[in-house]
Structure 1
Amino acid sequence: MTAQDAPPKYERARLAGGWEAAHAGPLAEAKQSAQQAAAGSGKPWTLEADKQTRAILDDFPARSVKAETLAKYRADYDRLRARGVSPLEAATSPAHWQRLRTACRYCMADDVRRWRAASERARKAGDLDNAQRLTAEAHRLAVALDGWFCQPRTRLTWAAKGKALAKQGKRPPSKSRRRDTPPEPDLAVAALLFPAAKGGPPVRGDTLAARHAERLALLALTGLRPAEMMAGGRIQATDLDGRPMLQVEIKGAKVDNERGHHTRTLLVEAAGLAATALRATADARGGVFTLTTNQADYRSLNKALARHRLSCYSFRHAFGSDLKAWITDPATANPKGAAHFAAQVMGHRSTESLAFYGTRAGSRRRGRPPIWAVSATEADLIREKSPAYRRSRRLPLVSFQASGSAPPPPAPKQQPAPRARVLPKPRPPWA
């Protein structure tokens, strides 16, 4: 028996205390319906319960995920079960809700399939009592899965949480780093030198600064993605008309046929302390060096920044804020050209993608960022609309008749509403 086919641990797969109370009504209704359906045949009620389970699993088809992704799903799922709360109750932002929702859907459906497989093995081995117990556990978990993610009346949605909090005059808490403003590039290392508050945890500032100063400078000066930082940034000392410059070559992340650049090269003015320090490092290493970052470095830097509600990605959002302020500044002569320039700098293939980074009001500077030039491998493919935007507005082709007025375009196809699963109504015992 492989690990994938093994039955789930009982403590992990069965309904937790908080989940048991949340689904008490649907569980009792589904069980009573299965018992009444089996009453006439004289067979165990778990056979009818298994039919309900199979019908529910039809709405949650099995899919394969990477081992790393599965480990993250299981970690989120086990934390929710330990707390006895739903993914909607634990979610703190729309993105957090989507992550917990996906993890919970996958793990619950996977556990239901494992319970059913274990029940089938017990039945073939002649252990009918154990087979019925396992089938009942699969049925209970399947009913909870159906109630949270399929049934229209009880389905969990982020919009419902927002409306409930709005009635109370509250807003959902957010852990988004989009509005957090990290220090300027020349002061970026300061985030590692000072504790978040008086009496806070001890800070190994000198050690952290020596380890991560170059990475922080690169993050703050170029706004590259953490994944691109881990791929290694090539930094070369150069000059432009007598001005000291840094030429930074970045290997793109999130690159496919529709988005991203495989490689982009930024020409950064070596004017501030951070850029000057990087240039000095390049000069000391023969004029060029590659800044490498491994998983341990990334975790260490993110953990140090977290004391100030920052992360490596916070610097990318801040860089996006600076670019937004520059593009929308009335003094900018060519806003359209500036938007294309910003898309190359950020590693985007759509000028609309910048809308999801930072805020114009959160800009730390006015005027053009200290990026003098940029070149990207797919620069000629930059567009003003993202692929998803264009697809959502693409009308189907309509053939018109040679004479007469053209018929109106067909109405857009609407997604069908989730169907409610109808169970037979329980009959009173005296009927």
Structure 2
Amino acid sequence: MKVNLTRHQKGIADARLLMAQEQAMQAGSFLSVYVDKMIKDVINQVKTDASAESNEQYRTLYKSMTSSNAGKSVQQILMSCNTRASFDKTRTAFRFCIVEQIKQLRREAEKLSKAKDYKGSQELTVEAFKLSIKFEDEFLSDKRILFSDIKSKIGYDKKSLSKRKTAKNAPSSNEVLDNMKPAFFKRHSICFSVINRFGIRPSEMQKGVKLQFENGRIFAVVRGAKVAKDRGQQVRAIGYEPDLNNAADKLLLEAIANSPNKVFECVQTKKDYNALRKHFNKYHEGFSLYSYRHAFASDLKKSGATRRQIAEAMGHRNTVSQEFYGYSKQGKGDREFVAKASNDIKVKPDIKEYIKSKSDAGSIGSKISQSKKSTAANLQRGSRTSIKPR
């Protein structure tokens, strides 16, 4: 790959090279050692320990955005995002994939060096160096594009199309299922029902979700996605009492009843997910399957579930993440949920626990007020007192 730098970026590269040359000369070492160190210093600023599922999503989005915006700069692509969620995901995808490219160039350069192809190794190191300069300038410097830049551009439409805000008007399960043609219904209705009623992530559907009916409740056993050392849940189980007037619940109950050992495993291929997603784009414009994850969070909040229970049901490792999903006022409040997850939940302290009672606050306030009055009175008396030399 050939990396093209702006005039400003070329200036940064020249300054870095001059500095590396001086360091190498003083240490009696090779220039390439210090150039490679500069490259590593840049890529080490970026956290890249996301789950395999997230990484694949980033690669897909990056490939899609670069191919559909051929000839456009990174700044132009980012400025075309209309919501904060879209901007954040696009920026993260670009950061991840460009860092991957830099690492790949370094690995290939090292292989050539071991094979004693020093010229080829040097050429790849130069490209990795140039790409690191470009990346740092566009994603890590003070000049990087922020969402505030998008909001301030002329003609920006402030109307949000975020899945979180549109979730309350998402079409009901009955409406969506009634709109499916027979062949499409046969292939996709069960998977849609699981997503609709349990707020399952697309990547979790691809792993498979086990459904069972126990003591009057439908349970979903989910193998988590977005799982890392300090995030996500390996496994979680969520249950609620079914509503026999709900088409999705009736489908799930039938699927369980007709399955061996009364355990139904719902697996959705990537191809099937894309087909269902396109169906939504065509027949339910403005909504997506992920809208139901936000709607599920709203229902959890409305049901009176604790923050820990919500985290377990959503597949989160902490109680902070749920703040970005759904709204209590948008929830239906027609279901009571039970949920357990395999990993411990880090609970964010509630500020209310630290607030004094009104009576205590009143006594403190009155003491402050008395102190202010006393100080003011003393100052007034002092201003009327003349100080004469003895």
Normalised by the shorter chain, which TM-score bucket?
A: 0.5 to 0.7
- C-alpha distance in 2 between matches for 1:141 and 1:121: 23
Secondary structure at the counterpart of residue 264 of structure 2: strand
Secondary structure at the counterpart of residue 43 of structure 2: coil
1:263 match: 237
Superimposed CA distance per residue, residues 325-375 of structure 1 (whole angstroms, 9 cap, x where no aligned partner): x35xxxxxxx5x665665554455655543221234544x3xx2234x525
* Alignment-mate amino acid for residue 338 of structure 2: V
Q: 1:175 to 1:98 in 2, by over 3 A?
A: farther
1:100 match: 93
- Does residue 320 (structure 1) correspond to residue 297 (structure 2)? The answer is yes
Out of 136, 155, 159, the position equivalent to 1:146 is 136
| Mapped contact 2:299–2:335 kept (Cα < 8 A) | no
Secondary structure at the counterpart of residue 312 of structure 1: coil
**Offset at residue 290 of structure 1 (A):** 0.3
Secondary structure at the counterpart of residue 224 of structure 2: coil
1:57 match: 40
**Offset at residue 76 of structure 1 (A):** 5.0
Secondary structure at the counterpart of residue 189 of structure 1: helix
Q: 1:142 to 1:49 in 2, by over 3 A?
A: farther
* Alignment-mate amino acid for residue 251 of structure 1: V
**Offset at residue 166 of structure 1 (A):** 1.7
Query: Per residue, is there more helix in 1 or in 2?
Result: 2
Q: 1:72 to 1:345 in 2, by over 3 A?
A: closer
Superimposed CA distance per residue, residues 230-266 of structure 1 (whole angstroms, 9 cap, x where no aligned partner): 422323386xxxxxx5532423525778764633333
Out of 366, 369, 373, the position equivalent to 2:334 is 369
**Offset at residue 270 of structure 1 (A):** 2.6
- C-alpha distance in 1 between matches for 2:310 and 2:319: 8
> TM-score normalised to the size of structure 2?
0.64
Q: 1:69 to 1:235 in 2, by over 3 A?
A: closer
- C-alpha distance in 1 between matches for 2:199 and 2:267: 16
Q: 1:286 to 1:87 in 2, by over 3 A?
A: same
* Alignment-mate amino acid for residue 248 of structure 2: A
Secondary structure at the counterpart of residue 233 of structure 1: strand
Out of 222, 241, 246, the position equivalent to 1:251 is 222
2:277 match: 302
- C-alpha distance in 2 between matches for 1:252 and 1:101: 28
- Does residue 354 (structure 1) correspond to residue 322 (structure 2)? The answer is yes
Secondary structure at the counterpart of residue 59 of structure 1: helix
**Offset at residue 183 of structure 1 (A):** 1.6
Q: 1:131 to 1:358 in 2, by over 3 A?
A: closer
| Mapped contact 1:80–1:87 kept (Cα < 8 A) | no
Unaligned runs of 5+ in 1: 1-12, 40-46, 194-204, 239-244, 328-334, 391-431
Q: 1:270 to 1:60 in 2, by over 3 A?
A: same
**Offset at residue 323 of structure 1 (A):** 3.4
Q: CA RMSD in A?
A: 4.6
- C-alpha distance in 2 between matches for 1:249 and 1:95: 30
- C-alpha distance in 1 between matches for 2:20 and 2:197: 68
Superimposed CA distance per residue, residues 145-178 of structure 1 (whole angstroms, 9 cap, x where no aligned partner): 332344x444x242xx413542636368977422
- Does residue 214 (structure 1) correspond to residue 214 (structure 2)? The answer is no
Tell me how many residue pairs correspond in the alignment: 328
Secondary structure at the counterpart of residue 271 of structure 1: coil
**Offset at residue 320 of structure 1 (A):** 1.9
| Mapped contact 1:266–1:345 kept (Cα < 8 A) | no
Out of 200, 211, 228, the position equivalent to 1:234 is 211
- C-alpha distance in 1 between matches for 2:125 and 2:238: 56
**Offset at residue 117 of structure 1 (A):** 3.5
1:170 match: 156
Secondary structure at the counterpart of residue 213 of structure 1: helix
